[in-house]
Structure formats: C-alpha cells, structure tokens
Amino acid sequence: MSDRPCKLTSLPLESLLLVADNLPRHDLGKLSETNMLFACLTRRERLREFVMSPRSFVALEKWVHVGALYPKICACPANVQEDFGSHVKSIVLPEEWTSKTRALFVLLNHLAPSGLQSIRMRSHGSKSWWTGARQAWGGYDNGQLFAPIKNLTLECPNLTSIVSLFSKQAPSTRQLLAHMPLTLTLRGAPADEDSEMEWGVGFGGGWGVQAAPVVQWTDDRDKIVLRTRHLNVEVNTGLERVLDTVYFFQLHSLNVYTRIFSDWTLTLRLLRDSQTHLQSLRIYGIGSRGQVDSIEPVFLGSLTNLHIDWELLAIFRSMARSTVVGQVTLTIHKYVADYATDAEFDVAAEVLTTDHWSEIVVVEDEFWGTPDAITGQAIRRADFVARAQMQNPPTYVTNFV
C-alpha cells in the first residue's frame, strides 16, 4: 500500500461529506475555494451563517456566474437563487464597508433568501459604520432583504440608525420593519449621535423605500414605537439614552442584562411599556446590584414566567404583589450555597414562603460536576429549604459543568 497521501477528490462522497461536516468554518471556506466539487459539498455549512466580508466575496466570485454578483446588469442564475434560498439562515453584515462588501449586499438583497431568519449588524461602536451603511445601501431597494426575518441583532446602535432602519418597508409586503413581530437584540455601547438629525418621512438618506413615519409626536417629544415581540437588551448608559424615546408596547418576553448601570430607570420603563402583554421576564445581574433596594411595583397581569438571579431577588421582591396569584413560575438562577448570606435568605424567606407562586425553581448554574458535588445536591437542597424557611421544597436543579 502506498504511503503517499491520496487527494481529497479521490475519496468517496460519504467521506468528503464527513470532512466537510467536521472542518472549522475558516478551513471550510478555504476548502471551498479549491474546486467546484468542494464549493458544492460545503455550501450548506458555509451558507447557513453568511458572514459578509471581502474574502467571502472572492470565494463567490470564483464559482458564481458574474450575473449573480451584478444582478442589475445580468440575470441571476437559477441555481444560485435556489442555493441561497435553501441554505442561508443568517446574515452577518460586514465589520467594514468596502467595494466588495457593498457588492455582496447588492447580491443578497437581489436574492432575498426565502429561508433567512436573522440579520446581525456589527458596528463595534463606530458611528462611521452606520454612515457607511447608508452610503453603501443608497440607491438600492434593500427593504426586501428584511421581509422574512424573525431575529434582528444590533450592536452599538445609535438613535439615528434605529430610526432609519425601522423605517424600512419590504416591497413585497408593504410592511414597516417597525411593525414586524421580531425578536430584537440590542447590545454594546452605542457611538455618539450625529450632530444633525431629521425626523419623519424621508429620513434615512437613501436606505430604501420610505413609508409613513415611524416617529409619532406625543407629549412634546418624539416617540418611536416598535411592535417587537421579544427583546433582549444589555443595559448601559449609552443604550439608556438611545432607548429614552423608543417604546415597546407589544412585548411578550423581555430579557434584561444589567451588566453596567446606575439605576433601574430603563428596566422599569420597559416593564411599564409591556405590562399588558408581557408573559416572560428574565433579569440577569452581572457584577452589580444597582443603587436601589427595590423597584416600585408594576402590575404584570399576563406574566407566567419570572426568571431572576439570586443576587437581584431583593430588588424584585415586589413581584409577589404585582403578578397574579398562582399564575407565575418563579425561577431563581445563579444560586451558590457557599456564598449565600443570611441577609439574602431573609429576603428569600419573605419572597418564597408565600402561596403566591405556582412553582418555585432554584437553579445552581455552572456547578463543578465532581462526585462530592453531585452526591451533595440533596444536602444543599435541604439547606436551602431550611434557611429560606420554606414549607414546600422547591424544584432544585443543578447545571453541572
């Protein structure tokens, strides 16, 4: 038997598919550029999350007919339309706008993948990114790309970008992005606002078809109303300023990451916005408890699931008075028996010993899965029940790592 390695192309198809399924994404891209066979075999993995970059343009340019890259000039081949429609589930917009990434955007907007579910915009706090985006997208009817999406992630957005983006309208549905029941994720510290802003119809500097203004005039201030159904937001000083005029009255679920904050003003405002429809609330406390002992109660009549970190239980003790009796499952996360204080258990006893909750779940997150830890789970559960003065033991869950 020869010791010389065989060429990949000589392997059976099943082996080639196995190779493609186990390669890192970066190596997968390199493999796809070697010949048409690998470009076809790897397209499902490569296209599932399509990251726009100059390199991804070069890879497409090598195997895709020129008409696909310049759809305004030539007709797009049917096989390209089918591949993108079947395989592209997520699009990540480029970190920097160049001639190649602009060409990619033209291609994707023209193809408008029917299976697209999510779009992520990664500006990394750069105001120039949003300016470059408006320039790159100017002159193209780009609203259709957003028509099928269910998830939208904005990194470091400013108010200008939010107004421009949610004023988009998909030509096929004539529906504003602001009116779509999306899952919206906002994270990162936004860049400073542009010094000059214009509101209303036509705002956006060529970002596509504009319809009726998203901005509504109420109480002598501009209000932006989004019909987002699910909101994930990292609370920071910059986003607090941005969301000061953005309202969410249709939220069904709200996840708040309190990584850095000075108070609970924004969180409280979001609860007031969504108090009619909100069904699930998750509060993450990362490294800080804020500067208040507890927040004022906001009645949430539709709430059925409340998830809260152990260290924030005191701040949200009013939830037992502002939700429907017997309707809410309370889940406490990040409880660590070795670090829980008597003061924290005094609060826990106040919250957990009522008959208000339909169920109480205590979760030990990221607990080391040593034999002693696993066998000691029952002991820690009994200790929790005793210190919290509970008559009925909670459901006790340990996430071992």
3-state secondary structure of 377: helix
Query: Which residue do the tokens 């891209």 mark?
Result: 29
pLDDT at 161: 80
Is residue 388 within 8 A of residue 345, CB to CB? The reply is yes
Q: Specify the pLDDT at position 195.
A: 35
pLDDT for 73: 42
- In the chain (401 residues long), the average pLDDT of successive 10-residue segments reads 58 75 73 71 78 78 57 56 84 87 81 89 76 69 79 88 82 84 89 42 34 41 85 88 92 86 80 96 74 77 95 86 94 91 92 92 80 82 94 89 70
Q: Give the long-range contacts of residues 100-104, CB within 8 A, separation 24 or more.
A: 100/54, 100/57, 100/58, 101/52, 101/53, 101/54, 101/57, 101/136, 102/136, 103/57, 103/69, 103/70, 104/52, 104/56, 104/57, 104/60
- Closest-CA residue to 246 (of 184, 159, 167): 159
Domain parsing of the chain, residue ranges: 11-116, 283-401
| Cα gap 79→171, rounded to integer Å | 24
- For the whole model, what pTM was predicted? 0.82
Residue 400: name the closest of 387, 376, 258, 383 by CA. 376
- Give me the pLDDT at residue 210, please: 37
